[in-house]
Amino acid sequence: MNYRLRLRGDWDQLKGKLQQAYTQLTDEDLTYVEGKGHELVGRLQAKLGKRKRQIVKMLNAL
């Protein structure tokens, strides 16, 4: 199934929110390059042990 990642706002602010909620995430884990959201999702899946759908939903809710 294909899930769409829709990041809104300043990535640095969103990254800060994620690091507060998940203290195990590093700056490297949260590196985001426009057009390569699938890489970010993959890193977060591996680090947080969640499904792709859950990661995308979490990021889109920020």
Give the pLDDT of the chain (62 residues) as one tens digit per residue: 667 888 888 999 999 999 999 999 999 999 999 889 999 999 999 999 999 999 999 999 98
In angstroms, the CA 34 to CA 55 distance is 17
* Tokens read off for 34: 């426009």
Nearest to 30 by CA among 20, 18, 21: 18
The pTM assigned to this predicted structure is 0.88
Which residue matches tokens 């979490």? 58
Apex CA 61: angle with CA 30 and CA 40, to 5°?
25
Determine the pLDDT at residue 11.
Answer: 92
In angstroms, the CA 35 to CA 19 distance is 22
